Structure 1
Amino acid sequence: EFIGNNIPPYAILSHTWGSKDDEVSFQDIKNNVGKRKLGYQKIRFCGKQAKDDNLAFIWVDTCCIDKTSSAELSEAINSMFQWYQNAKICYAYLSDVSNEISGDESQSVQRQKSALQQSKWFTRGWTLQELLAPASVEFFSKDWERLGNKQYLKQTIHEITKVPLEVLEGAPVSRYSVEERFSWASNRQTARVEDESYCLLGIFDIHMPLIYGEGKEKALKRLQKEVKESQGETAANLSHNIKANNPARDASLSKILRWLAAPDPSVNYQKAFKQRQQDTGLWFLESELYTNWRVDDASSIWLYGIPGCGKTILSSTVLQDILQHCDIKLGQVAAYFYFDFNDVKKQHADLMLRSLVCQLLQQSVEIPTGLDTLSS
């Protein structure tokens, strides 16, 4: 075992697991029985390819982690992104892509793209970090034929995964928003529901204990909490410091707010939020429609229905999610309004505009000179 600065150059394998009985475990290697299993062919290939690439060491997740030790498993999952990042090269084995699309110059690019698009490797949760972390990723077919590397296939990979080309070219994932990074994993699956969150630890550069059995929702909530604490606090503190200790701004803002005399929509939001049952509307937050709307520029969603069907309650779920997003994402703010037939101050478009302006001003670092002049 190598630790710290004494780790030699190594290759690492990325693959989709077969059945538990087919894969070679740490205990199988220890007891010298691994060669009997189908999964040993992947280990054998990885070793042979590493030798061809002048590398003396390989790392394969199935047999290099003692999964009977919860402590070792937790350490491995929390360190996985770094291990893939530090590898000299990553071999991505696509067990469902035929070698007939490789090595033949007469075949069309579209045929190769179609085969890659259908590969389950691009649908698994763990393979996302295995794609992003290593500087060099070589793709191989089920017959161990080379398909191309990450740079050569980057356009196709981008179209399949929606991961920006800049990231595939080596840009740090930290340059991208929390929401965008979550969106890269939105359509991926894992064998254990908790792993849908655990497989993203490295992508957000956080560590947290693993609690298998806690369920999908609790794992996700813990992940979101850790992400907010590690990345959101910096943004929130920066925003607070910019606005703090500015008496001139505060005086100008108070004057404008009195002048606009806008209605307060938070009353409607809080009322709807209190009436909402736990987990109401989560199906909508997890939908592709909503996820795309969150990350796309200048996009819109129109939800409509008969009176009393639940639009107001659903909107409180959406609004809570948006407000939490803006707490994390520096430079983005939220403004909202409720039309209310029981409140005459919330029945006209001009009052809506006043309310939106007030909300944006309260979250702004500087007060526009034009508004300051108009309110004088």
Structure 2
Amino acid sequence: MRLLYTTGEGRLEWTDDLIGDKIPSYAILSHTWGGQEATFKDLRHYSSMEEVDAKVKEGYQKIFFCAQQAKRNGLDYFWVDTCCIDKTNSQELQEAINSMFRWYQNAKKCYVYLPDVECNTPDADSESSRRWKPAFRKSKWFTRGWTLQELLAPASVAFYSKEGDLLGDKQSLRDTIHEITGIPIEALSGKEVSNFSVAERFSWAHNRQTTRPEDGAYCLLGIFGIHLPLIYSEGKENALKRLEKVIRESFDQVASIPVDNTDARSRNQEERLGKIFSWLSAPDPSTNYHKAHKQRQAKTGLWLLESTKFTDWKKRAASRLWLYGIPGCGKTILSSTVVENLLQYCHDDTNMVTAYFYFNFNDAQKQDPKLMLRSLLCQLVQRSVVIPKGVDALFLSCENGQRKPLSHALLQVTKEAAQEFTHVYVVLDALDECAQRSELMDMLEAVAEWQLNNLHLLMTSRKERDIERSLEEYIREEDAVCL
């Protein structure tokens, strides 16, 4: 790895090629390539902005931006892909591309430079600066293949406008980035990408573009922890086939594979899965889960997790549990405690799954029982080793996703998907915040009538008469807990 640094005279110089523990702390730049990039060859001719040829001035501005920002953060060294790799050296290029994820992962700071986002205010966090958010959402940076690993690999990712103003970092902009990319909050919050299924990781790259076709596969090497020789004449199809083959072989040989989905599906299935998720258009409940989890105090909810009632619920066939209480008593935070416990409980066994949903008065996407059902189905499908036949058939019957599925059909395929697991734990929070409560209660009664021994249902709500009247049909008195 070759790093840049600024000499005492203000000139840019490279280090020697560094390996292992000889690599000092460094910053790294993430950006999209333009037509005026400064290459390794260019940097050998110019070392200060005053010497720079106009045709590469824009590229040099990015380099000097990175140098200045690194200095502000107390870092003497930095790395920029345009000029720290000698792309005329094929061996060096091979090593760099196969090492790229690790290089971004090990960087102390990653600076994302967005030339298509203008801030025009010295305070990017002020209310007046919200004018940059639309441009941020549409930034080219979110559409490129290589920037996926540059978003996920580093722990610290900061976003800067064209003017060099700080817009925020991966954590402060997490919800916005999730909405733009569809990447789960957990992945943006530092969860190892290896903990996500092959299908889900492939879906993150859906619709991302690369200049060279083969890079559509090569940009995913780090996402899957794969090393692959580069053959830039092979085309994208062959590159993807080679990538998939190595993934399958790796998963067969390694014991500690991601448990979310232990099979590397074929590329056609991956594409099919992406289309199915797009068709279902399900809201992501993980945002609610993480928000509630942040508000949780230490040991909150342990009384429930350690109770005989809860442990029996986890094991008893066709079990149900209703937690009810007044507004503000902590039902949603308690739900997040339960979800966390169940996710951990199911983590090492792909025959078990946790699915959850949070109804929310403040989010129109979280008030519709049909969207709840779609979300639960997506979670079951994501955990499944293969796409359930019923889901695939329903997708086909809806003209390959041109029409949305009807509720009764969704219920049927959800039942079929649930039957593929030994245990299915479903947590539904705040039933009272569903805008179409009558439809929801009918739907839950239908689920209860399945009488699936492997299905365990836990719900929370206020104790409102219509909810109580409906639930008492299939929930025993001893399984209703007042908070």
- Secondary structure (helix, strand or coil) at the match of 1:152 reads coil
CA distance 1:227–1:103, shift in 2 (3 Å):
same
Distance 1:294 1:210 in 2: 36
Q: Is the 8 A contact 2:119 2:129 kept in 1?
A: no
Report whether the alignment pairs 1:3 with 2:19: yes
Distance 1:187 1:133 in 2: 20
Distance 2:257 2:142 in 1: 37
Cα deviation 1:15-42 (Å, max 9, x = unaligned): 00001xx111111122337832220010
Deviation at 1:115, TM superposition (A): 1.9
Partner residue of 1:130 out of 129, 137, 150: 150
Report whether the alignment pairs 1:150 with 2:170: yes
1:250 maps to what in 2? none
Q: Is the 8 A contact 2:174 2:188 kept in 1?
A: yes
Q: % of aligned pairs identical?
A: 53
Q: Is the 8 A contact 1:180 1:295 kept in 2?
A: no
Cα deviation 1:280-325 (Å, max 9, x = unaligned): x96994695345369978659xxxxxxxxxxxxxxxxxxxxxxxxx
The within-5 A match list for 1:1-376 is: 1=16, 2-19=18-35, 22-32=36-46, 35-36=52-53, 37-38=56-57, 39-100=59-120, 103=123, 106-107=126-127, 111-234=131-254, 285=271, 289-290=275-276, 292=278, 332-333=385-386, 336=389
Deviation at 1:113, TM superposition (A): 2.9
- Secondary structure (helix, strand or coil) at the match of 1:100 reads coil
Q: Is the 8 A contact 1:101 1:107 kept in 2?
A: no
Distance 2:190 2:240 in 1: 27
- Secondary structure (helix, strand or coil) at the match of 2:172 reads coil
Matched positions, count: 279
Deviation at 1:103, TM superposition (A): 1.2
Distance 1:92 1:284 in 2: 29
Distance 1:159 1:104 in 2: 20
Cα deviation 1:241-278 (Å, max 9, x = unaligned): xxxxxxxxxxxxxxxxxxxxxxxxxxxxxxxxxxxxxx
Cα deviation 1:148-203 (Å, max 9, x = unaligned): 11111111111111111111111101111011111111011010111011000000
- Secondary structure (helix, strand or coil) at the match of 2:167 reads strand
CA distance 1:75–1:103, shift in 2 (3 Å):
same
Q: Is the 8 A contact 2:107 2:154 kept in 1?
A: yes
One-letter code of the match for 1:332?
V
TM-score (norm 1): 0.65
Q: Is the 8 A contact 1:158 1:165 kept in 2?
A: yes
Cα deviation 1:101-124 (Å, max 9, x = unaligned): 661555368644322111001111
Q: Is the 8 A contact 2:86 2:93 kept in 1?
A: yes
Q: Is the 8 A contact 1:158 1:164 kept in 2?
A: yes
User: For structure 1, which runs of at least 5 residues remain unmatched after alignment?
Assistant: 240-280, 301-325, 340-352, 365-369, 371-376
One-letter code of the match for 1:131?
L
Deviation at 1:229, TM superposition (A): 1.3
Cα deviation 1:44-73 (Å, max 9, x = unaligned): 111111111111001000000010011110
One-letter code of the match for 1:145?
D
Distance 2:224 2:269 in 1: 24
TM-score (norm 2): 0.51
Q: CA RMSD in A?
A: 3.7
> Which has a greater percent of helix?
1
Deviation at 1:133, TM superposition (A): 0.4
Distance 2:84 2:27 in 1: 13
Q: Is the 8 A contact 1:179 1:295 kept in 2?
A: no
Q: Is the 8 A contact 2:201 2:223 kept in 1?
A: yes
- Between 329-338 and 45-54, the greater mean CA deviation after superposition: 329-338
Distance 1:229 1:283 in 2: 18
User: For structure 2, which runs of at least 5 residues remain unmatched after alignment?
Assistant: 1-15, 260-266, 283-354, 356-372, 376-380, 394-411, 423-452, 454-483
> Which has a greater percent of strand?
2
